[in-house]
Amino acid sequence: MKIHFITGATGFVGKYLAKALLERGENVWVIVRPLNDASAQIRAKEMFRDYLSTWPNTFRVIDGDIMIENLGVADSIFKESKKHEVIFWHLAANLSFASENRADVQKTNYTGTVNVVNFANRVADKFMHMSTAYVCGNASSFSETELYKDQKFRNHYEKSKFEAEKYVRETCKLPHTIFRPSVIIGDAYSGKAEGCTFGYYRYAFMFHFLKKQIIKVLQKNGKAALCLKFMGTKYNPEEDTLMAPWLIIPCPKNGRVDLVTVDYVVKSMIGLYEKNLQSVTVHLTHDNPPAFRFLLHAVLYDLGFRKMKLFSVPVWIFRATVACFYFLALPLRKYVKSVMWYVPYFTEPCEFERTTIENYLENPPEISRELIARINAYAKENILDHIEI
């Protein structure tokens, strides 16, 4: 019997991967840790209720924790897995860019990977590791075979994922594939991005929050509301649109955002697993990343802003504007800081070599206006109100 072990199955991509494998008739065992006084099984009943009912014979929740040697997996599970062909998918990661979370990021992304690789070496037949395209750091170009390029890392997330990938390359004794996705967004066809509150969605939240605050001011009918109305601000509750002709937003010239949809990432991961490639690294990035200006206009329009204006500026002016906003917007400083973490990802684009995808699989779907509309509609309905400052 073939078994797919998955870490990080409670996360955004992990849930999609588990479901995709189950739909193919595969046996999927997910390693889940206890959290906040809730056991792994209690968490699983909440997070995987549909999976447990739909695939009761092929989906299994295993108590474990990648922070523990041998992953805290019971000896009986270890012995049972040794009798079968095991494909190990390691997706668990800490995505925080915050400097105060460095220790936790390092522990999850590096120490966790060390524990997982050592465990997989003992029980598995193949190893699939989720890295990130941004192990490239500030490099302007990066090949799939490269890992060291004198790059400087822009946050500890990048550094920890670099170190984890290095450990996999040097220590994994199994045939393995390393996946390096860029910025992952929701499903290309439904827009669904269950459980995703980072990256693209974090940036969109800034304008969602701004709109809500303006509406609150207008509803109070105070002096600030009179000033906004004088500048042409109008809110239409029936259409949920906000006229804001005074809203002028700078965009970095030539800024691009390397987005890929979660369904494409998962489909590619499974497709490459089936190719039986030996010890390869794959860039799951876009062949034609969309312009930042295009995405920003789409986000603003889909969130209900009207009559706003965008203008292109050199990158250094854009960065200076964001920095000024950070110092002036005192009540929102913590949130603006978290948005600033993403600025390098659209002002310092990297050219990623994509040889493996071009040789074996299809390019990702175009990031069209219709696709982004679906992404934004799902975010507005299901995600943005759940992001905290």
pLDDT at 342: 87
CB 134 within 8 A of CB 151: no
Read off the pTM: 0.94
**DSSP bridge pairs for 305:** 242
Compute the average pLDDT of residues 335-362.
90
Work out the pLDDT band at 322, boundaries 50, 70, 90.
confident
pLDDT for residue 387 is more than 90: no
pLDDT for residue 331 is more than 70: no
User: Higher confidence at residue 321 or residue 217?
Assistant: 217
Compute the average pLDDT of residues 355-378.
96
pLDDT for residue 94 is more than 90: yes
* Side-by-side strand order, sheet with 241-243: 234-236, 241-243, 305-306
Please write the tens of the pLDDT for every residue from 243-256: 999 999 999 998 99
Structure tokens at 224: 């600030």
DSSP letter string over 113-176?
HHHHHHHHHHH-SEEEEE--GGGGTT-SEE-SS---SSPPPSSHHHHHHHHHHHHHHHH--S-E
Structure tokens at 286: 């876009």
Compute the average pLDDT of residues 311-337.
81
Which single residue is written with the structure tokens 């973490």? 341
Structure tokens at 75: 């000896």
DSSP letter string over 334-355?
HHHHHHHTTTHHHHS--EE--H
Q: How far apart are CA 165 and CA 195, in angstroms?
A: 25
Compute the average pLDDT of residues 151-176.
97
Compute the average pLDDT of residues 147-169.
96
pLDDT at 306: 96
**Residues making up the chain, counted from first to last:** 389
Q: How far apart are CA 6 and CA 15, in angstroms?
A: 10
pLDDT for residue 332 is more than 80: no
Q: How far apart are CA 141 and CA 67, in angstroms?
A: 33
pLDDT at 389: 67
Percent of the chain residues topping a pLDDT of 90: 76
pLDDT for residue 192 is more than 80: no
Q: How far apart are CA 158 and CA 131, in angstroms?
A: 9
DSSP letter string over 283-341?
EE--SSPPBHHHHHHHHHHHTTEES-EEEEE-HHHHHHHHHHHHHH-GGGHHHHHHHHT
Q: How far apart are CA 331 and CA 278, in angstroms?
A: 52
Please write the tens of the pLDDT for every residue from 133-150: 999 999 999 999 999 999
State which H helix or E strand residue 50 sits in: helix 49-54
pLDDT for residue 336 is more than 80: no
Q: Which of 201-205, 285-289, 312-316, 321-325 has the lowest mean pLDDT?
A: 321-325
pLDDT for residue 234 is more than 90: yes
Structure tokens at 299: 């986000």
- Distances, alpha carbon 318 to alpha carbons 108, 173, 183, 322, 361, in Å: 33, 46, 21, 6, 37
Compute the average pLDDT of residues 200-215.
90
Compute the average pLDDT of residues 298-312.
95
Compute the average pLDDT of residues 36-50.
84
Please write the tens of the pLDDT for every residue from 8-31: 999 999 999 999 999 999 999 999
Structure tokens at 316: 């250094």
Q: How far apart are CA 161 and CA 192, in angstroms?
A: 26
Distance of CA 332 to the CA centre of its chain: 23
pLDDT at 330: 67
pLDDT at 47: 87
